Structure 1
Amino acid sequence: MLIIDRFAYTNKFSNLNPCLKVIISLLLILLSIVNSNIYVLCFMIAGNILTTIFGAGIPKKSYIKMIAAPAVYLIISIFAIIFTFGFSDIVHSENFVYLKQFRFLKFYIGLAEGSVKNGLTLGLKSLSGIASMYFLILTTPCSQQIKVMKKAKLPVVFIELYVLTYRFIAIFFEEAILIHTAQKMRFGYSNYKNSMNSLAVLIKVLFVRIMKRYKDMQSILEIKHFDGNFYTD
């Protein structure tokens, strides 16, 4: 079972009204998008994280690992927004804070006025939305999410795509972990050269295994006379 599924079924909020959890999460995501107050965003992020860890009982180490991956991409994106750089003979412009210009190739780097605040606000908005989404997926099993979507009268095609996408994400991680573990047991990542070779093999084998799992699932659905609806109690 995928670790997210395990947390979703075993957390302290798993038996709460799923409609309430979905509404709260969507409202928090919407508030993250429309709100630009740094202090409010920080409060929302802290509230989401504390509620998920201490309220729902999600292990701290696992949660930190899950949120660290998108946080790294956010930091890289914010860096590109905050700093302005390029090539020019003269670096002089209004609302531009000059930091450094290198004589070689006339390369310069600097800060535009308001770029730090804009970058920080955008990063906090994104992190707040991610924390709100994590609260939903870590406290609400997929079966409960389907019930809420059916109550909301969402199109059947959307629900089908959602479930199949969710399932294939689980298959992807399951196969990737199995292949990676097998490679590690054979010292496939003992050095840089072996790591690159093992990574290439992992990608190739992963693609083949996922396509096979897809065909197997398709055959199973046909045997069970799948009509496009995922039935839940």
Structure 2
Amino acid sequence: MSRAEAMAGLTLGQLANHHQIETPKDLKRHKGWVGQLIELELGALAGSKPEPDFVHLGVELKTIPVNQVGKVLETTYVTVAPLTNILGLTWENSVVCHKLQQVLWIPVQGAREIPLTERQIGSPVLWSPSLEEAALLKQDWEEIMELIAIGKVESITARHGEVLQLRPKAANSQVLTQSIDHNGAQSQTNPRGFYLKTQFTQKILSGLL
């Protein structure tokens, strides 16, 4: 936390220079660049593995883009959704549950008119879900997974879920993965990912930015 707090107020350009890393012109082809830079500064180890970024601490790291007044600008990706071999999978042993036990949120200016090198890093927020938040997450996850299990993955929209949503997670619509159709047979569909809705993450950050 002291290292995370020491970053607050620095620009991405200053942090990149410190690590002798070139800052890309924009994030169109470097979508994960900000998160990777913050991971490097804080020493996160997990990369894209299905476990918290700071494995030894049980802490997941999430950079979150905000505007000038601290409004969250986009949903937060959590993990890929399992679409097959889900029999017996419960909320308690799901990757989503494990990754959201404790999260270190790092707000970063995300307004496109601000050059990437000049975007400032905000104050960190270390968060664990309250009983109420955990119940909402579990409820959404269970409802979405039930629809996947009965072969209705294609009918799930971003509007499903109060705090957690399921959305396509691929570079383009040509990317396909195994899934289950409504007859219980193997089928093909676009990969899906779990995302936290902006109004949920806004509540986490509100008053703490």
TM-score if structure 2 supplies the norm length?
0.27
TM-score if structure 1 supplies the norm length?
0.25
Higher relative contact order (CA 8 A, sep 6+): 1
**Which structure is higher in strand share?**
2
**Which structure is higher in helix share?**
1
Q: Rg: which structure is higher?
A: 1
